[in-house]
Structure 1
Amino acid sequence: MTWTVPNILTVIRLFAAPGVAIMFLFFARPWADWIALVLFVLAAVTDWIDGYLAREWNQESRFGAMLDPIADKAMVVIALCVITGFQGMTPWILLPATVILFREVFVSGLREFLGAQAGTLKVTKLAKWKTTAQMIAIAVLFATGVFQHEVLDRTVGMDDATIGAILMGEAPDEVGLNFLVAAEAATWWGGVILLWIASLLTAVTGWDYFSKAMPYLRGPKT
């Protein structure tokens, strides 16, 4: 295996996937949220960069073709587990996350079973849009965690009456609370909507792959 720049970027992205979760073991929030957000966004950007460089520099390889989707799936699966955990298992996140995780496991198993015929399940343009939607949704939801804990940090020592007065404009907002609360709500609902869109695209592409594999699944095992 040749260590080209695209392959190195893919390997870095693969190792960044567990790094997103590990940040929450070594750093307090919201620092963990900030670091996980930056790490995830940088890793997601390399997904486009390594593919672009591989094509432009004619450095496409079997190793890269194998590892690239694995790195993408690792990023999405681990990040969704983290987000589902710190958002309190809310159905707004849990349901679309379940669809995404189920599809990724199902299609991976389907490709493994098909073996030599796995080339039938080539990555489609819709599948690429699916991955893009997943990564944007996850990045936005990581931002929600940042704003949630900034609100908690800046309201330490305040009672509910004081917080309510600030949000109603009846008391000076010296800590930027109104902006943080608005940003939290915007990223939460934006992330949820994007995640549901991503789960819909995920389900559609999963069904498409299953339909293409059906001719190889009929009949007795040989």
Structure 2
Amino acid sequence: MTWNLPNILTVLRLAAAPGVAIMFLYFARPWADWFALVLFVSAAITDWFDGYLARAWKQESRFGAMLDPIADKAMVVIALTVITGFQGMNPWILLPATVILFREVFVSGLREFLGAQAGTLKVTKLAKWKTTAQMVSIAVLFATGVFQHEFLDRVQGMDAAAIGAVLDGEVEDAVGLSFYFHAEALTWWIGTILLWIAAALTALTGWDYFSKALPFLRDAPRGRT
């Protein structure tokens, strides 16, 4: 194992994956949402940098090639688990998240089964777009949690009529309720749409990998007796 900068960034990204969930164990919301968002975005940025630096500096290694997809999958799986939980098992989130999680487990199992032939399942450009869509959608949905709890913090002690009056413009919005209310709704819709797009790309790449692996899954014909 070579401890160059690209590999260090990959290891840090892998360590950040459980850190996203841990934020919600030790911090109250919205601070947990803020920390998880910053940690996730920072880790996602390293996903581009470590690959770029490894190629530019000619520091590509077997260790990095092995760990990079594991770090990506760990980030996505853990982040989606957290988001599904704090979204209250919303079917608009749960369904695409299930497709993504199923595909990641399926392809990982497929690679393990193929062993030496796993090289046939090379990462495609579509798979890279899939990963980008996953990362962006998850980051936007973490932002939804930030805006939601910033809004809830500001309406403590207010009844529904008072909140409605502020949102309708009848009362001065001194604490930015309207901004956080609309920001929550906007990021939820954008994040959800992007998550469905990511799920569609995930399913397509999963089918592509399965099609490429199919010749290796067929049993050899039995000889005549």
Q: TM-score if structure 2 supplies the norm length?
A: 0.97
SS in 2 for 1:219: coil
Equivalent residue number for residue 61 of structure 2: 61
Q: In structure 1, give the amino acid aligned to 2:205.
A: T
Looking at structure 1, the residues matched to 78 and 207 of structure 2 have their Cα atoms a distance apart, in angstroms, of 23
Looking at structure 2, the residues matched to 49 and 221 of structure 1 have their Cα atoms a distance apart, in angstroms, of 47
Equivalent residue number for residue 149 of structure 1: 149
- Call closer, same or farther: CA 1:146–1:221 in 2, change over 3 Å: farther
What are the equivalent positions in structure 2 for 1:71-86 lying under 5 Å apart?
A: 71-86=71-86
Equivalent residue number for residue 124 of structure 2: 124
SS in 1 for 2:42: helix
1:213 aligns with 2:213: yes
Q: In structure 2, give the amino acid aligned to 1:219.
A: D
Gaps of 5+ in 2: none
Deviation at 1:221, TM superposition (A): 10
Looking at structure 2, the residues matched to 88 and 220 of structure 1 have their Cα atoms a distance apart, in angstroms, of 48
Equivalent residue number for residue 42 of structure 1: 42
Looking at structure 1, the residues matched to 208 and 45 of structure 2 have their Cα atoms a distance apart, in angstroms, of 27
Q: Please, what is the CA RMSD of the aligned residues?
A: 1.1
1:190 aligns with 2:180: no
Deviation at 1:189, TM superposition (A): 0.2
- Call closer, same or farther: CA 1:187–1:221 in 2, change over 3 Å: farther
- Call closer, same or farther: CA 1:21–1:215 in 2, change over 3 Å: same
Equivalent residue number for residue 31 of structure 1: 31
Identity in percent: 82
Equivalent residue number for residue 51 of structure 1: 51
Equivalent residue number for residue 21 of structure 1: 21
Deviation at 1:164, TM superposition (A): 0.3
Deviation at 1:192, TM superposition (A): 0.1
Looking at structure 2, the residues matched to 79 and 221 of structure 1 have their Cα atoms a distance apart, in angstroms, of 44
Deviation at 1:220, TM superposition (A): 5.0
- Call closer, same or farther: CA 1:221–1:164 in 2, change over 3 Å: farther
SS in 2 for 1:122: coil
Looking at structure 2, the residues matched to 204 and 61 of structure 1 have their Cα atoms a distance apart, in angstroms, of 28
Deviation at 1:2, TM superposition (A): 1.1
Deviation at 1:118, TM superposition (A): 0.2
Where does structure 1 differ by over 3 angstroms across 4 or more consecutive aligned residues?
none
Looking at structure 1, the residues matched to 139 and 122 of structure 2 have their Cα atoms a distance apart, in angstroms, of 26
Equivalent residue number for residue 134 of structure 1: 134
SS in 2 for 1:175: coil
Q: TM-score if structure 1 supplies the norm length?
A: 0.99
Looking at structure 2, the residues matched to 151 and 145 of structure 1 have their Cα atoms a distance apart, in angstroms, of 10
Gaps of 5+ in 1: none
Equivalent residue number for residue 203 of structure 1: 203
